[in-house]
Amino acid sequence: MSDFAGMEDLLQDFLVEAGDLLSGVDNKLVDLERSPHDRGLLNDIFRGFHTIKGGAGFLNATELVTLCHLTENLFDKLRNGELEVTPEGMDVILEATAAVREMFGSLEQGTQPAPADPGLIASLRRAIAGELGDGAGSAQPAASAEPARSAAPSATASGEPDWEGLFSAVTGLPIARPGAAAPEVLPSVPAKDPEEVIQAAIGRRATDKPGVSGPVGRRETEKQRDNSIRVDTARLDQVLNLSGEIGLTKNRLNALRSDILSGRNDTETLHALDLAVSQLDLLVSDLQNAVMKTRMQPIGRLFQKYPRIARDLARNLGKDVELVLAGEDTEIDKTMIEDLADPIIHLIRNAVDHGVEDAAERRAHGKPEKSVVRLEARQEGDHIVILVADDGRGMNAERLRAKALEKGLITEEEANSMDERQSFNLVFLPGFSMAAQVSDVSGRGVGMDVVRTNIQKLNGAIEIRSQQGKGTTFIISLPLTLAILPVLLVRLGDQPFAVPLSMVREILPIDPKEVQEVGGRATMVVRGEVLPILPLAGLLGWPLAQSPQYGVLMQTAELSFILAIDSFAGREDAVIKSLDDFRPKGVAGVTTLSNGQIVLILDMKELLGAGDLRGVSRLALLPKEPKERVAA
């Protein structure tokens, strides 16, 4: 049974508000490390912990209240100038925010949080007392005290448990006391597991990998939270006003219908009917756009977790990296934000680990010691573009080809025919890595196939641009929304199919005289580029009943080709309906045309993965007598 029976709504509101608040605190902490004397930042962070503590108090989350109270006390001294911000102090503070996130995880499961790690509590108390190393304040050099060996904390004079004594007993590390001499040898602190650094920063335990289900209660709670959305009341007012206008237009249409049924077919009545239908069409279009805007959320809510991740990883790797955010006000479909989180995390940690150089290498090349990783979002037409760029060493196309050839991922003939763009795309091949040794954080290419797959699931594309010695940029292009997809309607015989318009470059006729056979397959030369011809019938497993008359020049991240079809049926903005119970391979969903006909929307990337990419020979495309097509 949940520890919060009867308080579920209050708990959910707290988790949403406190989660956003803590993400903002994380970002301010990263800024504070660069501007340690900024009183505004210190006050904002203090208020953040104070607000979280107050909400936790309503829920009787005692351990969360205790942790936030100690952190709040530390920031009270920092903002009053009694202590100074130092790297050691920041490590403890960021560890405290990670512990708060872990407590949020317990609350999501409906259970009260367990006490924070005694070592963290001890470090916070030492920081408040000015005893943390050389830097939380102006404390005298600290000395070691003989560690207590009892299993339970003894009581201090104030009656509170002696957490410092327990910390010494558990870890075997000395606790610094004021006025005592410093120990001669301090134990070295091992670097944290980079995966733990990432999971702590984004609020997941190391065992809660993306796509792996945790406890049932927690997964259900996360699903409830994921389905919630914040909407500006002005947008809801617009939806309400449009709904009212549509209601009035409906009443007008009903009145005109009654007039027509009663025999009034004069020109004035028909003109009024035409105006009412046109007005309804306009209002429905406006309402659709207004409803779509309610799904749009600022991408800054996704970006705000990344400065902490970049900071923690860089510190763990001994690098000085600044993550610069831009375009945080750019809006994107709420359903896409969650699916973008893990791909962007992977790109950022690749940039921090393998994209940028360490300080010594940057000095040797005349670069500033501080590396810059840029995360930017902007809207271009009906697409959202997200950039992850670094000013590191860049990528070497020749080395990429050599490594892929060495691993047997490509043939020597393929390597010799690749241009620079195709060479960069080798990092998306499963199992490709340029790292001499497997890194715990990343390798330029390790897991990049998963990044590309996740982007493609969102009907998006990812492109790489790189210059040696200057840096690398990953460009992610996504549709504004997944609910409406611009499609091109093509036909095989009388059967229409829809293909994503974002993949279409141009439409051209297929002249058998221009078809050439290269390597046993039909190709065409378009502006100097030799492109394979892939009949849609072959990709669908249908027999090629007649010579295709037209071709659609299509392009994916790694392949350009001509899709051979019989004819066209136009362009439409398709409202996608998913096939949850049964989804054939290569079908992304269905849509209904204006004439009521149901059309399959093809998943071209899946068809290319499952179909025969050898194409057909030139002879198969020569004119011949059409024969009846039979489904395979």
What residue segments make up the domains of the chain, in order of their start?
A: 8-139+192-226, 233-294, 298-479, 484-621
- pLDDT band of residue 249 (cuts 50, 70, 90) is very high
Token pair belonging to 508: 């051209």
Token pair belonging to 383: 């697409």
Highest mean pLDDT (candidates 385-389, 456-460, 501-505, 627-631): 385-389
Amino acid found at 93: I
Whole-prediction pTM:
0.64
Token pair belonging to 81: 């100038």
* Three-class HEC string of 116-133: CCHHHHHHHHHHHCCCCC
Q: What is the mean pLDDT of residues 282-289?
A: 88
- pLDDT band of residue 377 (cuts 50, 70, 90) is very high
What CATH number labels 8-139+192-226? 1.20.120.160
Burial class (CB in 10 A: 0-12, 13-18, 19+), 627: exposed
How many Å apart are CA 412 and CA 406, to the nearest integer?
A: 10
Q: What is the mean pLDDT of residues 216-231?
A: 50
Q: Which strand ranges, in their side-by-side order, compose the sheet holding 567-575?
A: 567-575, 484-492, 495-500, 598-602, 587-592
β-bridge pairing 598-602 and 495-500: parallel
Token pair belonging to 622: 């020569």
Q: Where is pLDDT greater, at 316 or 584?
A: 316
How many Å apart are CA 109 and CA 215, to the nearest integer?
A: 8
Token pair belonging to 522: 């039909």
Residues pairing with 404 in the sheet: none
Closest CA to 367 of 470, 478, 241, 294: 470
Superfamily of domain covering 484-621: CheA-289, Domain 4 (2.40.50.180)
Identify the three-state secondary structure at position 39. helix
Count of C-beta atoms within a 10 Å radius of residue 117: 17
Return left, alpha or beta for 203; rule: phi > 0 is left, psi -120 to 50 is alpha, else beta: left
Q: What is the DSSP string of 268-305?
A: HHHHHHHHHHHHHHHHHHHHHHHHHHHTEEETHHHHTT
Architecture of domain 298-479: 2-Layer Sandwich (3.30)
CA angle 337, 343, 346 (to 5 degrees): 135
How many Å apart are CA 36 and CA 310, to the nearest integer?
A: 19
Sign of the Cα torsion 407, 409, 413, 416 reads negative
- Res 477: pLDDT: 87
